[in-house]
Structure 1
């Protein structure tokens, strides 16, 4: 596939060197196993690894903390080609999967993670394709509409806090986002209805990659080779500083009157929640607005109402 144009930024700084495996290599599916949220989700990831390993073989599946995406593949050399105890080299197989439920997709759009993840995937080196996999019962592209009983189920007797935490965007918005992801960003959008359906898709893609073979060997011997996985991981790994930026931005996005432009201005000016809280304690709204105006060429995208709401969150 034709690579997307290079974007400005640290991830697109310079192309990574490509090399060929020195001998035979085997395909390994890597599944992100980081504990995110409740223990139930972590247990589900462990069960998914076990299910895939039972079908592909224990040496073909591995849980690992991935720098980007939820599933990827590497070609691992059978022999290091050097010292007997040297680690085998791993080569990027060219495909990454970002896996989300409908609720995950909705939340990531609302808090800005969707755009951030999409940009990182577009800038990632050594990829032939990206799959945006949406898992769960629900409509996508207008297919698989919910039944009347399923549409009536969510409201129930949940309290306000539960309704807020479980708020989702309209299905038309999710379908539009999926279409944009496929047609504009060039990703492959796949909808699976359940975890077993997802496993079936992963098995099919794994076997297709195995049949295709590694870059630089066999039928693909004329290629320039593949990017080393360690270089890929280093290039795409988010720094601690960028994680603080993202967390601060997500906190601001839930504040009333604090839209994307106001969030960008506040994150750009104060960098961390601690610095912003100190400024709110030490400065009046007028002083803060003047400071933001000076930084933004005489225009402050943050309203007095947004600052008042921020005081309740960061200073109270």
Structure 2
């Protein structure tokens, strides 16, 4: 019996990762051409590439691609034109689901010549910095891309990998949570560029997407690792733990982490860095019963690493600062009692600290856009209005060229800013950049120093916040202690049923904080509301139960539409339609 030949495992032809390789090839060419010309449509092509990479089924023509996200009429028409040229070149029966034998993977279609042509390569030194597959530096281009240790790309890959290893992980992360998790793994800020630069650590995400290591999908954006990204992140994690040192080209991150750990819990520049990415500013005024003592101005800021430029501007303006964590808002001012040294003690005892009635929430326009999309905007305004301070300020920073890449139209953002002042009653101050933000905070510091100078200040409880005077020129001298204010502003503290009920109501579209407050004033708990529904005699009466509830300063009615929505939410059995 003749011996059988050894069985050869494997495929005759490598299966492409995308079932639509020609469309993917043409989109990549369009993207590269747009990038070379500096056109913004480059980002549109990149989004279309990401959508096509995820689609698991073959497309028969370009019109079918309209079902995919980021595929509009324009892109589909371009693909259809190229498809017709391709059929004329290779025949009407040519398959579009595999690359033709004569077409190598790295090709460029010339619009003036229907035949695919290889990308040009030149040995000159000037071409060494071109994109992948172009001329010059062939050995360098063949090396696998590995992000530098403690860079933005390195931190993003590790943060996503560790998230995926957690039990119950959803396999993706939103931008803000990804930035929060990746920041401790990176030496640069993910939100604020270094001095003299317009790039942050987050800028490396586009490189990860281009290298097919990261996927960006949905709106709001969801970020997840590809198979290649998961494999690379696993090796980076092993190297981080000391198991492997492959491609570990920079190892100076330990000192930075130790310095950050060593900086926690101190005072001044060594004050505790909070989990927020924003700076908290306070002016420290004298807390005294005497009208003759002078005051000293001290600014209490936040994460200096993320706000270097702001801190430098405040230093140039002669404003002293300190660093603390605030549970609501970005900047506020406190009055600190001056204490005389005690004989026999090295340091003077700590004086009381009272919070002035002014608090500032700083919003870059891109952060404002993100907070509107993910729902933080309404909650932040609600918490700011309920923090116990009567002069909340919204400081909106335009942030220059970054405003041209926002995911919401400008009209929507302008309407949100107007509503913040007109509907929510918060004072809005608009500035162009960090320098103007620092200038505004400096002027406010000097103004408040003069306003509260030579005044006797007393402590009040936060429960009395509704009894404050509304006269702007006669500020209240009855103030909340800093400890009570910050403790009361904790976001994830134990909440009462009333507070949870208010948060539930605010999740309804169109139901603002004032409207929720008016409802819980009448019905403090869901049980009391359901009991009121049970007392109604018919369905129509239940739907209109809340329509006459008055809210806000103008005491307007809640209206039948919102009343019906609330009723349906709490009384409909089964899923809502």
Query: What's the TM-score bracket when you normalise by the shorter of the two chains?
Result: 0.5 to 0.7
Tell me whether 1:93 sits opposite 2:363 in the alignment. Answer: no
Partner of 1:177: 416
After TM superposition, give the deviation of residue 176 of structure 1 in Å: 0.8
After TM superposition, give the deviation of residue 186 of structure 1 in Å: 1.3
Kept in 2, the 8 Å contact 1:31–1:64? The answer is yes
Counterpart CA distance in 1 for 2:360 and 2:475 is 26
1:65 to 303, 321, 325: 325
Kept in 2, the 8 Å contact 1:97–1:131? The answer is yes
SS at match of 2:307: helix
Kept in 1, the 8 Å contact 2:309–2:434? The answer is no
Counterpart CA distance in 2 for 1:22 and 1:69 is 29
**Change beyond 3 A, Cα 1:173–1:215:** farther
Partner of 1:232: 485
Counterpart CA distance in 2 for 1:215 and 1:223 is 13
Query: Runs of 5+ in structure 2 lacking a partner?
Result: 1-286, 458-472, 496-506, 510-568
Counterpart CA distance in 2 for 1:209 and 1:72 is 11
Partner of 1:200: 439
Kept in 2, the 8 Å contact 1:99–1:132? The answer is yes
The one-character-per-residue Cα deviations of 1:127-170 (angstroms, maximum 9, x if unpaired) are: 241111111246xxxxxxx8xxx98x64xxxxxxxxxxxx5211
Counterpart CA distance in 1 for 2:490 and 2:432 is 30
SS at match of 2:361: strand
2:397 to 135, 139, 158: 135
SS at match of 1:174: helix
Partner of 2:571: 297
Question: Where in structure 2 are the equivalents of 1:1-316 lying within 5 Å?
Answer: 21-23=288-290, 24=293, 25-33=295-303, 43-57=305-319, 60-79=320-339, 85-125=348-388, 127-137=389-399, 154=405, 168-213=407-452, 216-217=455-456, 223-239=476-492, 296-301=570-575
Q: Which has the higher contact order (CA 8 A, sep 6+)?
A: 1
Q: How many residues align?
A: 204
Across the aligned residues of Structure 1 and Structure 2, the Cα RMSD in angstroms comes to 3.7
After TM superposition, give the deviation of residue 113 of structure 1 in Å: 0.9
**Change beyond 3 A, Cα 1:129–1:106:** same
**Change beyond 3 A, Cα 1:221–1:106:** closer
After TM superposition, give the deviation of residue 240 of structure 1 in Å: 5.5
Counterpart CA distance in 1 for 2:398 and 2:322 is 24
Kept in 2, the 8 Å contact 1:75–1:92? The answer is yes
**Change beyond 3 A, Cα 1:191–1:78:** same
**Change beyond 3 A, Cα 1:222–1:181:** closer
SS at match of 2:395: strand
Kept in 1, the 8 Å contact 2:359–2:391? The answer is yes
Counterpart CA distance in 2 for 1:31 and 1:168 is 30
The one-character-per-residue Cα deviations of 1:237-274 (angstroms, maximum 9, x if unpaired) are: 222568xxxxxxxxxxxxxxxxx559xxxxxxxxxxxx
**Change beyond 3 A, Cα 1:65–1:233:** same
| Bigger Rg over Cα | 2
Counterpart CA distance in 1 for 2:374 and 2:324 is 26
Counterpart CA distance in 2 for 1:221 and 1:182 is 22
Counterpart CA distance in 2 for 1:108 and 1:241 is 24
SS at match of 1:56: coil
Kept in 1, the 8 Å contact 2:398–2:431? The answer is yes
SS at match of 1:26: coil
After TM superposition, give the deviation of residue 236 of structure 1 in Å: 1.2
User: After alignment, is 167-176 or 177-186 more displaced?
Assistant: 167-176
The one-character-per-residue Cα deviations of 1:201-246 (angstroms, maximum 9, x if unpaired) are: 111111111111159439x99955222111111111222568xxxx
Larger fraction in helix: 1
Counterpart CA distance in 1 for 2:329 and 2:421 is 16
The one-character-per-residue Cα deviations of 1:12-51 (angstroms, maximum 9, x if unpaired) are: xxxxxxxx74455534333232xxxxxxxx6341442243
